[in-house]
């Protein structure tokens, strides 16, 4: 999650006065996406299991794709 400006390849959502911008291709692969604010920042949940690692590079906890 990072600050960014919308691009033609993004889908934008306005939720409770926050604007969320998600790459449309990533959105299609990762639904459902849940963003929740907790005491120390945002918690993100989505349909991709990053804990399983990346199938193309064997990285644990993230993906290079």
Residue 57: band (very low, low, confident or very high) from pLDDT cuts 50, 70, 90: low
The domains of the chain are located at: 10-52
Per-residue pLDDT, averaged over 11-24, amounts to 90
For position 65, what pLDDT does the model report? 47
Q: What stretches of the chain adopt beta strand conformation (E)?
A: 10-15, 18-23, 34-38, 41-45
Residue-wise pLDDT for 24-48, tens only, equals 998 998 888 888 888 888 888 888 8
- What is the phi/psi pair of residue 29, to 5°? -80, -25
For position 9, what pLDDT does the model report? 96
Between CA 26 and CA 46 the distance in angstroms is 10
Q: Is the pTM above the cut of 0.75?
A: no
């Amino acid at each position: 999650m990072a600050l960014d400006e919308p691009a033609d390849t993004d889908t934008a959502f306005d939720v409770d006065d926050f604007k969320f911008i998600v790459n449309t291709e990533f959105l299609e692969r990762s639904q459902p996406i849940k963003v929740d604010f907790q005491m120390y920042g945002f918690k993100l949940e989505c349909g991709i299991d990053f804990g399983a690692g990346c199938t193309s590079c064997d990285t644990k906890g993230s993906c290079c794709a």
